[in-house]
Chains A and B, each alone.
Chain A
């Protein structure tokens, strides 16, 4: 699948919540494509449908209509494809970065990275080595055995990035990754994401309404009332 042209392909995606007369159209005919190594943003006001788009691509929100292809694998075509293992696909192809880092509070920084690897069937030793390496790369070598409660916001978010990268996913989905950070830490995270997108050849899709961080994205998608518009 490495030779596929797009890491993310969304065609004519529609998501309707509710049934009968009380339906809400969250997304209407959205189409986006993201290439490997690309860092793209989805911007839009609250309730515009950007999180619905992210969760549909993240395989946790079944689209009503349309098609979703992740790293060349068709996952949804008028609903999830029958028999598709969404958990396995999320483990192997996707990495998630959250607004509030979502580190597991009772695991150390290293264990938080290791858990993603062990879930993906890596041995304890391999997981430990890979987690140590990743945290080293992200300048967290001295904080590996610290619990999230003793990490700064920027450090915690870098651990979350390390966890998202652990399984070398083709797609990284970030939900407001800078919202809980100050400007300097937020910019550092964006620089890091840009660097990782290029180095790992991963497509990184960032949902944000933080206009401070729009510099540096390869492309920006604007979502408004469920409609997606592209801006170069």
Chain B
């Protein structure tokens, strides 16, 4: 058996493993899973899931008695649960429940319910772990129930009660929010809800009680399929109705901006004409808010990654893209001052933002109204941000608000007595630092504003 070096995140499941073959993601299936694989394939179960675009499709490349190799449809950019907005998270949770219900009805069951089994592709949440299905064993409870609660219901509840930033906790709690902590973070009134009492508080109590049972003395009671379906259905209807309490802060963002409609249109037009000349297929908009400027681009894009630090802005963009079926749009949450890091065993299971974006190789990077935040809020020097953008961009469209821009003034005033330390914030210094990494192709002042747009090309 030729055992290929597996992908660093693919080692937990003995059924098979993912590996990269000349840049292409492939999956090897071990003999231990042959029976399940054959049943899933021959019954048409896989095909039904592919046709409904809920499971990533694959084709079988080879088959021997030692391994089966499949090649899944490739996903250009994977986003992780801690980069999803509230409604994206909801969609991923609902997708998992849909698949579990469909599995049960067809004699299968999900053996795990990790949030990392889902990502976003072509504008939709999609299940990417093809080997997560096992045969349903009659009258057994759902093996992955606890995992579903800690990976999906828990984070969503914390977001509901404590704000959408709670979703970021998933980058620390790799295998879901610990139940005890989760239960302690819910308000007392949650104990009065029969749904929350049983699915969170009682579950936490039972898990705590049986955590020391290493001998397997506890008897698991049989649970009918209908009863399990009832659990899945109530989880689905509860999560579907779950909302955020907070008002979206970004909501009136474009009312707060310091320039007119005419300036907005000029900015959008300039960006559009530069982009149209470059004819990119894939772009990334760093600090793209709700995708307003990406939507103004008339050139047809294969994929536009639009990230922002504000979960609510990302959520607004996602809901809009979903409603308008703008499948090229991939919104996700990212703090440019602290981009998602590589985590998991060996720090290699989940890739960092930089690793993923370098592999994605965007043709154009947009950084609009973001340099003053990086430089003044984050104290990041121009040469550092230039080197950051140069690490993954071929072309960079960057907007520079001058020192007398009202936003810049506000940021500088907030520095109080340290204001003078930021005297280096000037367009001359900006150009000097960025010229180390980029050539200036175009430069355009936006009328009626204190802002300048640059089109930069990375030096060879």
A and B associate in one complex: no
Interface residues of B, Cβ cutoff 8 Å to A: none
